[in-house]
Structure 1
């Protein structure tokens, strides 16, 4: 953990000139609260939650190969903000109340780190270059402990993300989302639905890097049943689609993490009005 991550409790000054304190609430539902990590202990606790989900539950090899102390960590953690969902009804210090986490990498921080995490799989840098007047935010490492995988927890995460997006005047949200397993054909209908109906086009098109590109249109349009395709999709991807997200060109097999990855492109201006109205009140309340 670097000195920056260990000592900083400031997420930074936003477009409104206000400094967002990393420990202040960005949303609350009952005993659950969402906020940014404020200390090295909280970041390390979030990495432990990621380890429990990615390694112990899903068996991802990348964690086993690169981790010590039962934490999922990489070089990007030190330049990211870490969104935390905490259950305040649990006993112990705050860092032991973390039940869910999301990693947030702003464009200026990515530049300091030498690029975005997703750039190893998708041509994100070219997308950013085509939109020089928009601020990009990469979301990743999303996970929630099994007992807390509910609509309420997902809503809290999005309350936090929306407050953060508004604070920093983010124009585009991006990031990888995953299907479990490394055989795209096992998800042929869902991937084909995405390819035929949800592809990012024109200036928003983002292909997988050529050496890792796998086709997604594995079934013809007429063979895809939309209802069963959507039912087979991971909840995170369905959540993005409800907000109005589009999908990159091609999928990528991540053998270390045991996943088939697709790329999410979500310009803020295209988010459905009903979701802006739904989350906007909380964003205004907590990050005005």
Structure 2
């Protein structure tokens, strides 16, 4: 079977998983990166496309992975991973093709910024090839202590809340309603330092978030629903992403 290469840049190659061996490798990296006791796998793995980013100068070491669940329109959003934690009924009215991007992780021993660029370049190639109009998913903060991230949450409240027509509602039993509770002005520098890199990238492209964070004690994270309408990405950002994807 031919390798479904999405991107090859410098030392990194991003490709779609082609076998159970590939998916097992992604699950193993997720387990290591997330620090879970059991293999990180669920029923959605068999329904998703998996992207593997490999270091071609280091015996094709897997350095990053994520999975994508493609939906033809918003009426399918109930089968997403995110729908377990958020009431996404408002997004059922979205008419375009959507992709849920999930289980994103980078090998903890690899800190090359080009890995994230390769991952986003691969995502851009996939979006262009498949006519995707919205990306969404859960963006996670490490740990469950909200005090560490108050400036980041204050910035999300001030600048990045979802449009009312798409705003997710509360569904999970344990949430931090930062938009309702926070009255502080964010320290921008501290907020950006605390913001997870994946979420930071979404925001730079015009992404938006839910008005509350879910406290996920099983994964030891706080996460916010994150959406990005492809048509709303600033033209300069689109050009940069496509330059990486070419």
Residue 32 of structure 1 corresponds to which residue in structure 2?
Answer: 12
Q: CA RMSD in A?
A: 2.3
Residue 104 of structure 1 corresponds to which residue in structure 2?
Answer: 68
1:233 to 191, 195, 198: 195
Q: Deviations over 1:189-245 (max 9, x none)?
A: 211211122101221212231634321134324x32222212221111111111110
Q: How does 1:1-288 map to 2 (within 5 A)?
A: 23-55=3-35, 63-64=36-37, 67=38, 71-91=39-59, 97-107=61-71, 115-124=79-88, 126-131=89-94, 133-209=95-171, 211-217=173-179, 218-221=181-184, 223-283=185-245, 285=246
Greater radius of gyration (CA): 1
Change (3 A) 1:100 1:110: farther
Indicate the SS of the match to 1:172: strand
Give the structure-2-normalised TM-score: 0.91
**Is the 1:79–1:109 Cα contact (8 Å) retained in structure 2?**
no
**Is the 1:173–1:266 Cα contact (8 Å) retained in structure 2?**
yes
Indicate the SS of the match to 1:171: strand
**Is the 2:74–2:96 Cα contact (8 Å) retained in structure 1?**
no
Indicate the SS of the match to 2:178: coil
| CA distance in structure 1 between the partners assigned to 2:232 and 2:209 by the alignment | 14
Q: Which has the higher helix share?
A: 1
**Is the 1:79–1:110 Cα contact (8 Å) retained in structure 2?**
no
| CA distance in structure 2 between the partners assigned to 1:81 and 1:179 by the alignment | 24
Change (3 A) 1:109 1:147: farther
Q: Deviations over 1:24-43 (max 9, x none)?
A: 22112212101111111111
Q: Deviations over 1:10-65 (max 9, x none)?
A: xxxxxxxxxxx7x222112212101111111111011111111112xxxxxxx42x
| CA distance in structure 1 between the partners assigned to 2:210 and 2:78 by the alignment | 22
| CA distance in structure 2 between the partners assigned to 1:52 and 1:266 by the alignment | 28
Change (3 A) 1:147 1:109: farther
Pairs aligned (count): 245
Q: Which has the higher strand share?
A: 2
**Is the 1:102–1:139 Cα contact (8 Å) retained in structure 2?**
yes
**Is the 2:99–2:132 Cα contact (8 Å) retained in structure 1?**
yes
Give the structure-1-normalised TM-score: 0.79
Task: Please state how far the C-alpha of 1:177 moved relative to its aligned partner.
Answer: 0.6
Q: Deviations over 1:136-192 (max 9, x none)?
A: 111111111123222100000001101111111111100001111112233112112
Change (3 A) 1:281 1:232: closer
